[in-house]
């Protein structure tokens, strides 16, 4: 496992000034770093969401360090972060283990919570017609549109679901209620986890229906129509519930 990845894009240096002195500002550079802690976090998270590490599995720090080729420090940092995201649990004297999968009852409750929060925020936020909100929604939409298949594994699904989470984060933020935004953001890892677990057996899924629902939300926001925005959000979340729970309900 690489310990650090650095990508550098160079731009042309500024020309010398008319007085013959070179500009003392550094050349423009864009440096993107992926830290060892971030790589370790993503590697363990991928194993949890893909169930290579199944629910309830004990997480031995020394073994994870050996398998990932890192020291124990980034592993401990990753596990603490995953515990905060509710993907890992810890007990005194027992250490860490993978959190249980969300129950169907919990997922239904999660959907009901999102319906209340997101429809309310759309009703309040759409009439504001904030330019930044519309721009960020469209950017998230375009990133989702660039992923034609949702996939069934974390590495395949991550790009789409991160853009989707960003879309809904902006939607909630449009109401300008910090408490609602913080509460909603805390549930993102569980939403990702539930989608991956319950879609695993279904193969790849077309994103056309999902994108059409998002498009209607954007249209309502662009028109400043709070009632239409709330209705579009409700339609989208009810469709998401149907897609998410259909297979599990049939099995139950």
Residue 13 confidence class, pLDDT cut points 50, 70, 90? very low
| CB 140 within 8 Å of CB 166 | yes
Number of helices and strands (H, E) in the chain? Answer: 10, 5
4 lies in some domain: no
End of a domain among 100, 120, 139? 100
**pLDDT at position 70 over 50:** yes
Whether residue 63 is found in the same domain as residue 44: yes
End of a domain among 55, 83, 100? 100
| Most confident listed range (130-139, 160-169, 178-187, 196-205) | 130-139
17 lies in some domain: no
47 lies in some domain: yes
- What is the distance between the alpha carbons of residues 150 and 203, in angstroms, rounded to a whole number? 9
pLDDT the model gives residue 107:
84
Q: Which residue in this structure is represented by tokens 């721009």?
A: 135
27 lies in some domain: no
Question: Percent of the chain scored above 90 by pLDDT?
Answer: 54
Q: Which residue range(s) make up the domain with 194?
A: 104-251
Q: Tens of pLDDT along 131-169?
A: 999 999 999 999 999 887 766 778 877 888 889 999 999
Whether residue 155 is found in the same domain as residue 223: yes
pLDDT the model gives residue 101:
83
- What is the distance between the alpha carbons of residues 86 and 78, in angstroms, rounded to a whole number? 12
Closest C-alpha among 41, 36, 35, 40 to residue 81: 41
pLDDT the model gives residue 30:
43
Strand partners, 146: none
Q: Which residue in this structure is represented by tokens 């129950």?
A: 103
Q: Structurally, how many domains does the chain consist of?
A: 2
Give kind and range of the element (H or E) at residue 78: helix 72-84
DSSP per position, 205-228: -B-HHHHHHHHHHHHHHHTT-HHH
Q: What is the pLDDT averaged over residues 217-245?
A: 93
Q: Give the SS3 label for residue 58.
A: strand
Whether residue 94 is found in the same domain as residue 216: no
pLDDT the model gives residue 195:
66
| CB 102 within 8 Å of CB 112 | no
- Please tell me the pTM assigned to this model: 0.75
Residue 227 confidence class, pLDDT cut points 50, 70, 90? very high
**3-12, 137-146, 162-171, 232-241: the lowest-pLDDT one:** 3-12
For residue 21, what are the CA distances in angstroms to 13, 15, 18, 25, 29? 13, 9, 7, 12, 21
Residue 117 confidence class, pLDDT cut points 50, 70, 90? very high
DSSP per position, 190-204: HHHHHHHHHHGGG--
Whether residue 124 is found in the same domain as residue 68: no
- What is the distance between the alpha carbons of residues 118 and 101, in angstroms, rounded to a whole number? 24
Whether residue 140 is found in the same domain as residue 86: no
pLDDT the model gives residue 108:
87
Higher pLDDT, 231 or 6: 231
Whether residue 84 is found in the same domain as residue 113: no
- CATH number, position 85: 1.10.10.10
End of a domain among 67, 100, 133? 100
**pLDDT at position 86 over 80:** yes
203 lies in some domain: yes
pLDDT the model gives residue 147:
83
pLDDT the model gives residue 230:
98
Whether residue 89 is found in the same domain as residue 108: no
- What is the distance between the alpha carbons of residues 118 and 232, in angstroms, rounded to a whole number? 10
């Amino acid at each position: 496992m690489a310990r650090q990845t650095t990508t550098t894009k160079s731009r042309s240096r500024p020309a010398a000034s008319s007085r013959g002195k070179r500009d003392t500002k550094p050349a423009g550079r864009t440096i993107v770093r992926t830290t060892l802690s971030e790589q370790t976090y993503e590697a363990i998270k991928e194993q949890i969401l893909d169930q290579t590490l199944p629910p309830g599995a004990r997480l031995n720090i020394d073994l994870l360090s050996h398998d990932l080729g890192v020291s124990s420090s980034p592993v401990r940092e990753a596990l603490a972060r995953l515990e905060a995201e509710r993907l890992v649990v810890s007990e005194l004297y027992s250490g860490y283990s993978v959190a249980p999968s969300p129950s169907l009852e919990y997922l239904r409750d999660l959907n009901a919570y999102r319906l209340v929060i997101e429809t309310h925020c759309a009703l309040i936020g759409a009439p504001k017609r904030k330019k930044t909100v519309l721009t960020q929604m469209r950017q998230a939409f375009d990133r989702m549109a660039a992923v034609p298949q949702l996939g069934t594994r974390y590495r395949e699904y991550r790009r789409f679901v991160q853009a989707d989470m960003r879309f809904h984060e902006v939607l909630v933020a449009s109401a300008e209620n910090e408490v609602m935004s913080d509460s909603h953001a805390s549930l993102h890892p569980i939403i990702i986890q539930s989608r991956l677990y319950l879609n695993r057996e279904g193969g790849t899924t077309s994103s056309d229906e999902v994108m059409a629902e998002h498009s209607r939300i954007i249209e309502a926001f662009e028109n400043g129509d709070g009632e239409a925005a709330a209705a579009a959000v409700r339609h989208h979340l009810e469709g998401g519930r149907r897609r998410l729970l259909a297979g599990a309900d049939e099995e139950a």
